[in-house]
A = this chain, B = another copy of it.
Amino acid sequence: MDEFAVIRDYFTRPPGPAAGARVGVGDDAAVLIVAPGRELVVTTDVLVAGRHFPVDTDPFSIGHKSLAVNLSDLAAMGAEPAWFTLGLAIPAADPDWLSGFSRGLFQLADRFGVSLVGGDTVSGPLTVAIQAAGTAPAGTAVLRRGAAPGDRIYVTGTVGDAGLALAVLAGGAPAVSNGDLAWLRARLERPLPRVREGIALRGLASAMIDVSDGVAADLGHVLEASGVAARVQLESLPLSDAVRRSTPRNAAAAALCAGDDYELCFTVAATAERRALDALCALECPCTRIGDIVAGAGLQVLDAQGRELAVPRAGFDHFAGPAT
Contact = CB atoms under 8 A, between A and B. Distances in A.
Interface of A: 1-3, 5-7, 9-11, 13, 15-21, 24-25, 29-30, 32, 34-36, 38, 40, 42-52, 80-83, 85-89, 92-93, 95, 98-99, 101-102, 106, 113-125, 127, 129, 131, 133, 135, 318-319
B125 A125 contact: yes
A96 to B, nearest CB: 11
Nearest to A82: B18
A131 B85 contact: yes
Nearest to A27: B118
Contact of A18 (B83, B102, B118): B83
Contacts of A121: 3, 6-7, 11, 46, 318
Given A48-B124, A80-B18, A25 B117 contact: yes
Contacts of A95: 1, 9
B120 A9 contact: no
Contacts of A117: 15, 19, 21, 24-25, 30, 32, 42
A183 to B, nearest CB: 27
A140 B243 CA distance: 55
A120 B15 contact: no
Nearest to A24: B117
Contacts of A25: 116-119
A45 B120 contact: yes
